Amino acid sequence: MRRVVITGIGALTPIGNTYPEYKNGLRQGMSGAGPITRFDASLFKVRFACELKNFDVEQFIPKKEARRLDPFAQYALVVADEAMIMSGLDVDTIDLDRAGVVWGSGIGGFETMEHDITEAALWHGEPRYSPFLIPKLISDIAPGHISIKYGFRGINYATVSACASSTHAIIASFDYIRMGRADIMMTGGSEAAITKASVGGFASMKAMSERNSEPLTASRPFDKDRDGFVLGEGGGALILEEMEHALKRGATIYGEVIGAGMTADAYHMTAPHPEGIGARNVMNLALKDAGIVAADVDYVNVHGTSTPLGDVAETKAILSVFGESAYKLNISSTKSMTGHLLGGAGAIEAIAGVIAINEGFIPPTINHFTDDPDFDPKLNFTFNEAQERKPDVILSNTFGFGGHNASVIIRRFKA
């Protein structure tokens, strides 16, 4: 099958609004958490999140157009534009029928659903709904808008698999190119779920940290006192391209996607399998697909949500898959810095792996204070500070409610 390379990247995260800013935030071990400003959260159990900082959509999208887009779609357009610029693609010189978009979002237009539907429900008399209600809230509108903007007439749809959504989007795009159905794919994911209903819903599940007095250090993957994830927002985009197509136009190549896996836990609505069976299987499938062995992997960007059950299950899976080579790995959870972007998580975490390859450092797992006896002390979780290392092969995991598991493997490019 054809080889697939990465030629463009865009990032909009709670620790940086561009790819270079995100890269710097990861190196510095920055926390993106703070008190919620999007709404009055004073009566909520959880009153903090990882919001975007100093982001003004009108710097990227005209005000009238932006009003017709839910924030998740705004974020998608912003990161897609950065990726296009970085890639150097010229839409006048490529076959637009062989350029497509697959985009992931776990929820889609959550703010639109919450605001517009509530407003209509409170209307006394004839209900009045915005004509933009439906096109603002549907998840597939993001890839639709991207394709319209750049004229990509190839494959176009959305993936929805909770927190695995954007990794599934990346995998689908990878498959289409290597099978010859496309030459260029814009892929990734975005989420804008810091709303009353979302925060209230996740809090009622006891899924989120309740460290309201210390939000900066609330996301604590693999720490003994972890108590749940911190909600984040934003998105990430990658341009995947068939290798010969990229080389022919002289593109800069940032990495090569070499393998992927997808499985289901088939166990529980929200909890992972306690022995990490689905996580184990998905990593093994990704390794087999890539044609490599576990010892070839240098860095695993784990799902690592900072939940009591999830972190243990994923670590058991890593030990099962990697055996003795697990102790040579760097492992880290960048959610400790960005929070959990839900459907957008896989995109920005795959990008973190690409950054590790190109910049020669492993992003840290910050906010580690107390060792947990449930974790093997010989494992290197890259606690608190970035570590200098030039990984050749990285593996990125994302797991979603419903038992969805997805892993993608990216390698340093060698022609």
Q: Are strands 184-191 and 393-400 parallel, antiparallel or unpaired?
A: unpaired
- DSSP string of 15-27, one letter each residue: TBSSHHHHHHHHH
Q: Which domains are delineated in the chain?
A: 4-248 (3.40.47.10), 260-411 (3.40.47.10)
User: Of 163, 168, 245, 273, which one is the catalytic site residue?
Assistant: 163
d(CA 265, CA 280): 10
Q: Which residues of 159-170 are buried (b: 16+ CB within 10 A; e: fewer)?
A: bbbbbbbbbbbb
Identify the pLDDT of residue 117. Answer: 81
Active site residue 303: yes
Active site residue 340: yes
d(CA 179, CA 289): 14
Identify the pLDDT of residue 392. Answer: 98
Identify the pLDDT of residue 126. Answer: 75
User: Of 115, 145, 303, 404, which one is the catalytic site residue?
Assistant: 303
d(CA 110, CA 259): 32
Angstrom distances, CA of residue 231 to CA of 62, 83, 168, 210, 398? 28, 25, 20, 11, 15
Identify the pLDDT of residue 118. Answer: 79
Residue 8 DSSP symbol:
E
User: Which burial class, exposed, middle or buried, applies to 58 when counting CB atoms under 10 A from its CB (0-12, 13-18, 19+)?
Assistant: exposed
User: Of 145, 245, 273, 340, which one is the catalytic site residue?
Assistant: 340
Identify the pLDDT of residue 42. Answer: 97
Active site residue 124: no
Longest alpha-carbon distance in the chain: 68
- For residue 157, which amino acid is it? Y
CB atoms within 10 A of CB 250: 7
pLDDT along the chain (415 residues), means of 10: 97 98 98 97 98 97 96 98 98 98 97 85 75 95 98 98 98 98 98 97 97 98 98 98 98 98 96 94 98 98 97 98 98 98 98 98 98 97 98 98 97 95
Identify the pLDDT of residue 125. Answer: 73
